[in-house]
Chains A and B, each alone.
Chain A
Amino acid sequence: QSALTQPASVSGSPGQSITISCSGTSSDVGGYNYVSWYQQHPGKAPKLIIYAVSNRPSGVSNRFSGSKSGNTASLTISGLQAEDEADYFCSSYTRGTTLVLFGGGTKLTVL
């Protein structure tokens, strides 16, 4: 089972929207509605921002939204703010001996 595929980096200006993709297969992203997204600032623990494809935990800004089409999930951040600059990674439940796959992570730069 291979890791999920994410772009290494994305960037955007304050106020803009950006989308980060997370590509998998029919055995993981495409087969289950259990994709999660995490935000990680340097030196900090990851923070869950999206679970079950499109659900936001309590306290997470509605500027963060998630979706899925086929074997690819996406995280969209609207109204970019400087504080959004961080690493973002996805995960998906999968079938097989490994229960969860992670993406390699995407570094978001707010210009």
Chain B
Amino acid sequence: EVQLVESGGALVKPGGSLRLSCAASGLTFINAWMTWVRRAPGKGLEWVGRIKSKTGGGTTDYAAPVKGRFTISRDDSKNTVYLQMNSLKTEDTAVYYCITGFCSGASCHWDDAFTIWGQGTMVTVSS
């Protein structure tokens, strides 16, 4: 069974740090581009950032609200992607999901069509 399992969510004070993990199973993780999205209470989904596979360059991209504060990394030996969150703000309060796309034949949809979603982990930033 293909699965993504997030962990690491917690209550943290403004200005604090937190690292989320997302463990993958049932997919060829080394080839997957991994994305983090979040849903704040009462709001819609928001794209947070993405890390390409190492063969794809291994580079990262981030949404403007988190750029410079959040860092995505991956450990292909552990089939795990991480989201390091620093200088947390109250507006970062949300459920964080890791997700990934797919390849069909020669066409890949890593950045636009997400077939696998984790169950999410809650991050609450509050004093």
A96 to chain B, nearest CB (A): 8
Q: Is B50 located at the chain interface by the 8 A CB criterion?
A: yes
User: How many residues on B have C-beta within 8 angstroms of the other chain's C-beta atoms?
Assistant: 21
Q: Digit string of B108-119 for contact with A (CB within 8 Å is 1, else 0)?
A: 010111110111
Q: Does B61 lie at the interface of the complex (its beta carbon under 8 Å from any beta carbon of A)?
A: yes
Say whether B67 contacts A102, CB under 8 Å: no
Residue B46 at the A interface, CB < 8 A? yes
Total CB contacts across the A-B interface at under 8 A: 60
Which residue of B44, B62, B64, B115 contacts A57 across the interface (Cβ within 8 Å)? Answer: B115
Asked whether A102 lies within 8 Å of B46 as measured between CB atoms, the reply is yes
Q: Chain A interface: which size bin?
A: 20 to 34
Q: Mark A21-53, 1 if CB is under 8 A from B, else 0.
A: 000000000001010101000000110100110
A89: Cβ under 8 A from any B Cβ: yes
Q: From B62, which residue of chain A is reached at the shortest CB distance?
A: A97
Please give the distance in Å from A56's CB to the nearest CB on chain B.
11
Given the known inter-chain contacts A3-B44, A89-B45, A105-B44, please indicate yes or no for A100 contacting B117, CB distance below 8 A. Answer: no
Question: Told that A34-B112, A97-B64 touch, could you supply 9 new A-B pairs with CB distance under 8 A?
Answer: A3-B44, A32-B112, A36-B113, A38-B114, A48-B114, A89-B45, A93-B111, A97-B62, A99-B47
By a beta-carbon cutoff of 8 Å, the part of chain A in contact with chain B is 3, 32, 34, 36, 38, 45-46, 48, 51-52, 57, 89, 91-93, 97-105
Interface residues in chain B, defined as those with a beta carbon under 8 Å from any beta carbon in chain A: 35, 37, 44-47, 50, 61-64, 67, 109, 111-115, 117-119
